[in-house]
Amino acid sequence: MAISYDYYRIFYYVAKYKNFTQAANALMNNQPNVSRSISNLEHELGCRLFLRSNRGVTLTPEGEKLYSRVAAAHRQLQAAEAELAGERSLQSGTISIGVSETALHVLLLAKLQIFHKLYPGIRIRISSVATPQAVSALRSGLVDFAVVTTPTKIVRPLKELPLMEYQEVLIGGPRFKELANHTLTLKELSSYPLIFMNSHSNTHDFFMRFFLDHGVAVHPDIEASSVDQIFPMIKNDLGLGFLPEEMTREAVQKGEVFPLRLEYEIPRRTICLVKDTGRPVSISANELIKLLKTS
């Protein structure tokens, strides 16, 4: 049964005001058109919806049942319209982001601080995971976009947009302070206790490959599940580890940890935005993407 939505809309206002004239005024229509639409709806449904009298109209039992459903649908439509209006004005909305921990600390947190001040009504949902999991969440439609570290190993329809480069450094705690006085070979470094990210992360693969590219096999003594775990382990002399320079700068200045020199420069890496070109994002998500691009 394909009944015009306009009939139900007119029915809602007649039932609400219990008067054809008032319903016509609310709809900015005329009474004959409203009466005709109600007659057509009753004909389509095969039952009477209103009892008419000089004092107005009242709903029949069938009309009461229909009104309970139509009123609920009308409230949902009004809520959707208000939600869309709020998103268009950037006063409301929700953005879901898949983000690797390094990207979160080095770039995204600072950008979110700016964005939240500009648009406090927009809710942000963060899924802090390794790059492969963030990309998988995007591919499954669970997040609007991802902010991760390279390499991403993506394929179309996903697209990678570089945001900023960053440099990782080797650091050690007080126990290893004397190592700061000379340049370490990778072979020497492999003999010290090392702290890596776990094998599910791009960072783990990156440094394993870095050592292997220079002919050195390495076996980390500790594998952490998050970047946040690595720094306190280094600070408490459990081993040496690699972290983004931005995350170590303050601790280095305070003398809590010490940067160590290597014979080979650690390749710079990139934080990038990954989006699904086959799926549009909301107005609010697009606004955050614009802000991220300014980095």
pLDDT tens digit string along 78-100?
Answer: 877 777 766 666 677 889 999 99
Residue 66 pLDDT exceeds 70: yes
Residue 187 pLDDT exceeds 90: yes
What does pTM read for this prediction? 0.68
Report the candidate in 229, 253, 246 with the shortest Cα–Cα distance to residue 103: 246
Q: Spell out the domain ranges in the chain.
A: 5-88, 94-164+271-293, 168-267
Determine whether domain 5-88 maps to CATH 3.40.50.2300.
Answer: no
CA atoms in the 13 A half-sphere facing the CB of 149? 27
Sign, Cα dihedral of 37, 43, 49, 50: positive
Residue 72 to residue 61: CA distance in whole angstroms: 17
Burial class, 285, CB count within 10 angstroms (exposed 0-12 / middle 13-18 / buried 19+): buried
Residue 10 pLDDT exceeds 90: yes
In the chain the first and final C-alpha atoms are separated, in Å, by 54
* Averaged pLDDT score across all residues of the chain: 91
Cross-strand bridge partners of residue 159? 275
For residues 240 and 195, the answer to whether their CB atoms sit within 8 Å is yes
Q: State the virtual CA torsion across 71, 77, 78, 83 in degrees, nearest 10.
A: 150
Please write the tens of the pLDDT for every residue from 141-156: 999 999 999 888 888 8
Q: What is the DSSP letter of 244?
A: E
Please write the tens of the pLDDT for every residue from 244-261: 999 999 999 999 999 999
Structure tokens at 44: 């389509």
Residue 158 to residue 278: CA distance in whole angstroms: 8
Q: Which CATH superfamily is domain 168-267 in?
A: Periplasmic binding protein-like II (3.40.190.10)
For residues 247 and 166, the answer to whether their CB atoms sit within 8 Å is no
Residue 86 pLDDT: 65
Residue 56 pLDDT exceeds 90: no
Mean pLDDT computed over 178-196: 94
Q: Is the peptide bond before 157 cis (omega within 30 degrees of 0)?
A: yes
Residue 69 pLDDT: 92
Mean pLDDT computed over 42-48: 92
Residue 229 to residue 279: CA distance in whole angstroms: 35
CATH topology of domain 94-164+271-293: D-Maltodextrin-Binding Protein; domain 2 (3.40.190)
Cα angle, residue 177 at apex, residues 175 and 183 outer, rounded to 5°? 130
Please write the tens of the pLDDT for every residue from 274-289: 999 998 888 889 999 9
Say whether 168-267 and 94-164+271-293 share the same fold. Answer: yes
For residues 106 and 228, the answer to whether their CB atoms sit within 8 Å is no
For residues 110 and 62, the answer to whether their CB atoms sit within 8 Å is no
Structure tokens at 97: 């982001």
Residue 89 pLDDT: 61
Residue 1 pLDDT: 59
Cα-based distances in Å from 110 to 113, 114, 191, 227, 266: 5, 7, 37, 17, 25
Mean pLDDT computed over 107-118: 94
